[in-house]
Amino acid sequence: MSSLEKSIADLLDEVGVDWLREHPLPYTKGHWRYYDFYLPQHKLLIEVDGDYWHNSQGKPSWVIMAAKKNDMLKNWIAKKEGYRLIRIGEKEIQENFSLVRERITEELS
């Protein structure tokens, strides 16, 4: 678990919600996509988007395009399977954690 994901795990524990890590959803026969956090009581998925894969600075365009394609696929799978999905960026966690907390708690109500 990355430090960013640990921050979200701690937040979920603080608000007292049950969560599971690396929740799989079927993509095609024999293939799965895994989501960082799953809150079963709320049918809510949370993805933590770190800058390493999700920030274009200094990376070849194919890396960013592959990450975006994967993100779009995961967004589609979650919606198709009836889940709500929140994506939280590294910058949000580092610079405005109170807003991250607010976004998550709003989704829980």
The string of DSSP letters for 9-29 reads HHHHHHTT---EEEEEEEEET
Distance separating alpha carbons of residues 63 and 78, to the nearest angstrom: 23
pLDDT mean across residues, the chain: 90
How does residue 6 score in pLDDT terms, banded at 50, 70 and 90?
A: very high
Model pLDDT for residues 48-94, shown as the tens digit of each residue: 988 766 665 666 677 778 888 999 999 999 999 999 999 999 999 99
Domains in the chain: how many in total?
A: 1
Domain that holds residue 20: 3-108
Q: What is the CATH number of the domain that holds 60?
A: 3.40.960.10
Structure tokens at 71: 């993100």
pLDDT number for residue 59: 63
The CA radius of gyration of the chain, in Å to the nearest whole number, is: 14
Residue 27 confidence (pLDDT): 86
Q: Is the pLDDT of residue 9 over 80?
A: yes
Q: Check whether 42 has a pLDDT greater than 90.
A: yes
Q: Is the pLDDT of residue 17 over 80?
A: yes
The pTM of the full predicted model, rounded to 2 decimals, is 0.87
36 in Cβ contact with 74 (< 8 Å): no
- The helix-helix angle for 97-108 and 3-14 (nearest 10°) equals 50
